[in-house]
Amino acid sequence: MTKLLIIGSGGREHAIGIALKQSNKNTTLYFAPGNAGTALLGSNIAINATDINGLLSFAKESNIDMTIVGPEDPLVMGIVDTFQKENLTIFGPNKLAAQLEGSKKWAKQLMKNYNIPTANYHAFTDYEKAKDYIKANNQYPIVIKADGLAAGKGVTIATSQNEANNAIEECLLNKKFNDAGTEIIIEDFLEGDEASIFAFTDSKVILPMLAAQDHKAIGDGDTGPNTGGMGAYCPTPLVTPEMYKKVTETIFEPLLQAFQKEGITYKGIVYAGLMITKTGDISIVEFNVRFGDPETQVVLPLLKTDLLTIFEAIETETLANISLEWSTESAVCVVLASGGYPNAYQKGKPISGLTQKKENTAIIHAGTKQDNGNIVTSGGRVLGVVSKASQLDSAITQAYETTTNISFENMIYRTDIGQKAKRYQ
Ligand code: AMP
Ligand code: GLY
């Protein structure tokens, strides 16, 4: 029996758990802290994802064979280094490698040094200098980003000098993001459509996964504020086979070589957030050092290769022996969120419709918890309804059939997940 500890509590971690449960090997799963869905797959342990010492003690005491890190915070804090010092097996990049997501300036510098396509940028710690740059540059929109981790809220797309100055002031003077905003980068606005491609790497080879597309805005037709992601589908025709090859050759391979040349061992997932312009040019919007959410909920169900075998090959640096096999189906995920999200929302609402069973459809839990025998809401993104079918349209229909049978007070969701695909066909 292989004992696995999965760190995190979102839809991503539930989806990783489901994929690991399907492994040919027998597994016992632990989630820290997990949600009401992961509790049905394994045991939830009440330790937070950033309580590195608590997680370390649990992994030792419980003889965990491998720990898998879902979110970025513990990776950027150096959980992998801490576990490895104690000779524990853990899946994810170490602290040095995790700077790729932990510092936008570091990532931009690496991309620039190794000719990985990305928007031009300047870094600032000084408020006046940043303001002067905005004034002299005088091009809008312009993008202002806090250097460090800001839970997805550190990016402002400013459409005027006033908005840009406000964003700079909030970061550098008002310390809105605390230490994460001591430095900012100001970068050119990229126009186009976004896609996400994840890759597995063992530091020697890098294997890209299928391309997915997230739906970041809260409202139908990509309206309203950005969220963590309101739905996704995979594969996306936005990324043509030629572009996919180009991403491998001009982004993933050079990135791996960059890490090798810098003497940094990168093992785990690389997440390439791509902008694809109307003319087919590809640029990196950001790299992340973990699986994305909700995209993971649609990528992993299409992966036919045993996920645990892949994780083990990464650990032993034998990923070259593996070739990824994929289903030819399409998968779609509709996120059900709490009314008010991405701003303030209420929690603790009982959820109904969770026990329905439909073939090729899974209800993935994100912000849910057990409360006196009921499952209630406990976050902004509450559930992901994931369906797969031979055609994307059928997967979309199936996912919405299940969605309409789920309810909780003030439940919201987008009704157009996956429709963008038609624009690219
Ligand atoms: P990030 O946290 O860097 O991924 O940024 C969050 C979101 O802001 C991205 O997914 C994009 O939608 C948008 N964004 C970030 N940088 C740019 C850019 N240079 N041009 C256009 N949109 C951007
Ligand atoms: N889906 C966006 C993210 O995981 O960062």
262 and 212: one domain? yes
| Residue 172: per-residue pLDDT | 84
In a domain, 257, yes or no: yes
Peptide bond into 241 cis (omega under 30): no
Closest CA to 367 of 5, 32, 9: 9
Residue 110 inside a domain? The answer is no
Give the pLDDT confidence of 85-141 residue by residue, as tens digits. Answer: 999 999 999 999 999 999 999 999 999 999 999 999 999 888 888 888 889 888 899
Same domain for 265 and 177: no
Q: What pLDDT was estimated at residue 151?
A: 81
Q: pTM value? A: 0.96
Q: Average pLDDT for residues 287-313, to the nearest whole number?
A: 98
- % of the chain surpassing 90 pLDDT: 85
CATH of the domain at 13: 3.40.50.20
Q: What is the total count of domains within the chain? A: 4
* Nearest-5° Cα angle at 333, 336 to 412: 20
Find the 197 Cα to ligand 2 centroid distance in Å: 11
Is the domain of 178 the same as that of 280? no
366 vs 35: CA distance, rounded Å: 7
Q: In this structure, which residue's CA is closest to atom 4 in ligand 2?
A: 292
Identify the CA nearest to 268 among candidates 89, 82, 41, 15.
Answer: 89
CA-nearest residue, atom 8 of ligand 1? 155
Do 170 and 217 reside in the same domain of the chain?
no
244 lies in the same domain as 275 = yes
pLDDT of residue 228: 92
**What is the structure's pLDDT at 323?**
96
pLDDT at 212: 98
Q: What is the DSSP letter of 379?
A: S
Instruction: Tell me how far the alpha carbon of residue 60 lies from the centroid of ligand 2, in angstroms.
Output: 31
Confidence of residue 150 (pLDDT cuts 50, 70, 90): confident
What's the CA dihedral at 287, 292, 296, 299 to 10 degrees? -30
In a domain, 86, yes or no: yes
Q: How far is the CA of 236 from the centre of ligand 1 (A)?
A: 19
Euclidean distance between CA atoms 287 and 104, whole angstroms: 9
- Residues with Cβ within 6 A of ligand 2? 214, 229, 288, 292-293, 295
Angle at 322 between CA 320 and CA 324, to 5 degrees: 125
| pLDDT over 90 (residue 72) | yes
Q: Residue 324 Cα, ligand 1 centroid: separation in angstroms?
A: 29
* CATH value at residue 346: 3.90.600.10
Which residue's C-alpha comes closest to atom 5 of ligand 2? Answer: 292
Element (H, E) at 11: helix 11-21
Residues 142, 210, single domain; the answer is no
Q: Ligand 1: residues within 6 Å at CB?
A: 119, 143, 145, 155, 157, 187, 189-190, 194, 216, 273, 285-286
| One domain, residues 173 and 244 | no
Structure tokens at 282: 């590809």
pLDDT at position 152 over 80: no
Supply the pLDDT for residue 103. 94
CATH classification of the domain holding 132: 3.30.1490.20
Largest CA distance in the chain: 63
- Choosing from 139, 158, 182, the residue where a domain stops is 182
H-helix or E-strand spanning residue 91: strand 90-91
Q: Are residues 206 and 303 in the same domain?
A: yes
Using one digit for the tens of pLDDT, what is the confidence trace for 318-369?
A: 999 999 999 999 999 999 999 999 999 999 999 999 998 888 999 999 999 9
- What tens digit of pLDDT does each residue of 196-250 get? 999 999 999 999 999 999 999 999 999 998 899 999 999 999 999 999 999 999 9
**Residue 164: domain span:** 126-182
For ligand 2, the distance from its centroid to the CA atom of residue 173, given in whole angstroms, is 28
Minimum CA distance residue for ligand 1 atom 4: 286
52 residue type, one letter? I
Same domain, 307 and 341: no
Residues 32 and 152 in one domain: no
Q: What is the CATH number of the domain that holds 233?
A: 3.30.470.20
pLDDT at position 154: 85
What is the per-residue pLDDT for 166? 87
Q: Which of 196, 213, 290, 414 to mutate to test the pocket of ligand 2 (most atoms within 8 A of CB)?
A: 196
Residues 407 and 200 sit within 8 Å (Cβ to Cβ): no
Mean of the per-residue pLDDT values of the chain: 95
Residue 313: is its pLDDT beyond 80?
A: yes
The ligand placed nearest to the CA atom of residue 214 is: 2
| pLDDT tens by residue, 243-296 | 999 999 999 999 999 999 999 999 999 999 999 998 889 999 999 999 999 999
pLDDT at 183: 87
CA 190 to ligand 1: nearest atom: 20
286 and 398 in a single domain? The answer is no
Q: Residue 375 has what pLDDT? A: 97
Please check the confidence at residue 187 and state whether its pLDDT lies above 80.
yes
Whether residue 101 is contained in a domain is answered as: no
